[in-house]
Chain A
Amino acid sequence: MYKSGQREFINRVKNALGHSADNMERKRKFFDLPMSEKDRTTLKGIENRTPEEKEKLLETLIEAAKPINLNVIVLPDVSSVTTAIVDLVREKEPEWGDKKSVAAWKHPLIASLNLTAALSEQDVSVYFTEFEDGQMEDDLPIETREKLRQHIIDSYIGITSADFCMADTATLVMRTRPGQARSVSLVPLIHVAVIEIDQIIADLKELFTLIKWDAEHQKEGLTNCMTFISGPSKTADIEATMVHGAHGPREVYLFVIS
Chain B
Amino acid sequence: MIKITTENYVAEARKAIKNQVLQKALEDLQQRFGPPTALSYQKLLEGPELRLIAQDIRMQAIENLDIILEKLAENIHQNGGHVFFAKDGQEAIEYALQIARKHNVKRIVKGKSMVTEEIGLNTALIDAGIDVTETDLGEYIIQLAGEHPSHIIAPAVHKTRNEIGKLFSEKLDIPFITDPPKLTQEARKALRKKFLAADMGTSGCNLACAETGHIAVVSNEGNIRMAATMPRVHLAFIGMERVVARLEDHDALVRLLCRGAAAQKMSTYVSYIGGPRSAGQVDGPQEFHLIILDNGRSRILADEEFREMLCCIRCAACLNVCPVYRKIGGHSYGSTYSGPVGAVVTPLLVGINQAKDLCLGETLCGACQDACPVNIDIPRMLLALRFKLAEGDSVWNVTPADRKEKAIYSVWSWMIRHRSVYDFFLRLAAFGQNILPQKEGMIRRLPPPMSGWTQSRDMKAIAKQSFMKRWKKL
Contact = CB atoms under 8 A, between A and B. Distances in A.
Nearest to B249: A208
Nearest to B165: A238
B196 interface: yes
B221 A178 contact: no
A129 B282 contact: yes
A26 B220 contact: no
Contacts of A23: 66-67
A179 B277 CA distance: 12
Given A6-B83, A221-B212, A234-B221, A177 B281 contact: yes
Contacts of B98: 2
Contacts, number: 265
Interface string B30-45: 0010000000000000
Given A2-B98, A178-B280, A27 B299 contact: no
Given A9-B294, A204-B250, A246-B137, A181 B87 contact: no
Given A232-B268, A247-B221, A209 B248 contact: yes
Contact of B281 (A1, A9, A176, A230): A176
B183 interface: yes
B254 interface: yes
B85 A145 contact: no
A34 B71 CA distance: 18
A235 B251 contact: no
B192 interface: yes
A248 B268 contact: yes
Interface stretch (B4-12, B153-161, B352-360, B370-378): B153-161
| Most central of A148, A153, A205, A221 by chain B CB within 10 Å | A221
Contacts of B68: 30
Interface stretch (A86-94, A109-117, A130-138): A130-138
B229 A182 contact: yes
Interface stretch (A14-22, A48-56, A118-126): A14-22
Contact of B223 (A5, A153, A247): A247
Given A16-B299, A182-B225, A6 B73 contact: yes
A116 B66 CA distance: 53
A237 B66 contact: no
B212 A247 contact: no
B265 A64 contact: yes
B283 A247 contact: no
Interface in B140-172: 141, 154-157, 159-161, 164
B195 A208 contact: no
A182 B164 contact: no
A224 B276 contact: yes
B156 A237 contact: yes
B90 interface: no
B221 A248 contact: yes
A37 interface: no
Nearest to A31: B211
Interface stretch (B239-247, B333-341, B433-441, B465-473): B239-247
A156 to B, nearest CB: 13
B302 A16 contact: yes
Given A182-B284, A222-B214, A13 B32 contact: no
B88 to A, nearest CB: 11
Interface size range of chain B in the complex: 35 or more
B229 A9 contact: no
A243 B185 CA distance: 9
Interface size range of chain A in the complex: 35 or more
B294 A228 contact: no
Nearest to B138: A237
Contacts of B84: 2, 4-5
A180 B229 CA distance: 13
Contacts of A135: 280
A64 B196 CA distance: 33
B156 A225 contact: no
Interface string B68-84: 11110100000110111
B267 interface: yes
B319 to A, nearest CB: 15
A238 B183 contact: yes
B141 A149 contact: no
Given A17-B301, A247-B226, A230 B32 contact: no
Interface in B217-266: 220-223, 225-226, 228-230, 240, 245-248, 250-251, 254-255, 265-266
A212 interface: yes
A3 B76 CA distance: 16
Nearest to B102: A1
B14 interface: no
Given A182-B283, A247-B135, A8 B221 contact: no
Contacts of B223: 246-247
Contacts of A236: 154, 220
A113 to B, nearest CB: 19
A205 B249 CA distance: 10
A199 interface: no
A176 B277 contact: yes
A229 B269 contact: yes
A8 B18 CA distance: 49
Nearest to A106: B282
A241 B187 CA distance: 15
Contacts of A161: none
Interface string B391-431: 00000000000000000000000000000000000000000
Contacts of B279: 136-138, 178
B268 A231 contact: yes
A234 B87 contact: no
Nearest to B140: A237
Nearest to B250: A208
20 contacts: A5-B84, A5-B91, A9-B240, A31-B210, A31-B245, A221-B212, A227-B271, A233-B222, A234-B221, A236-B220, A238-B159, A238-B161, A241-B161, A243-B184, A245-B184, A245-B188, A246-B220, A246-B221, A247-B221, A248-B226
Given A31-B210, A236-B154, A238-B184, 12 more contacts: A13-B301, A19-B66, A30-B211, A137-B278, A181-B282, A182-B229, A182-B284, A187-B226, A238-B141, A243-B180, A247-B225, A247-B226
The 5 closest A-B pairs by CB, nearest first: A248-B222, A178-B280, A246-B221, A9-B85, A16-B302
Interface of A: 1-2, 4-6, 8-10, 12-17, 19, 23, 26-27, 29-31, 64, 68, 129-131, 135-138, 145, 148-149, 152-153, 166, 168-169, 171, 176-183, 186-187, 204-205, 208-209, 211-212, 221-241, 243, 245-249
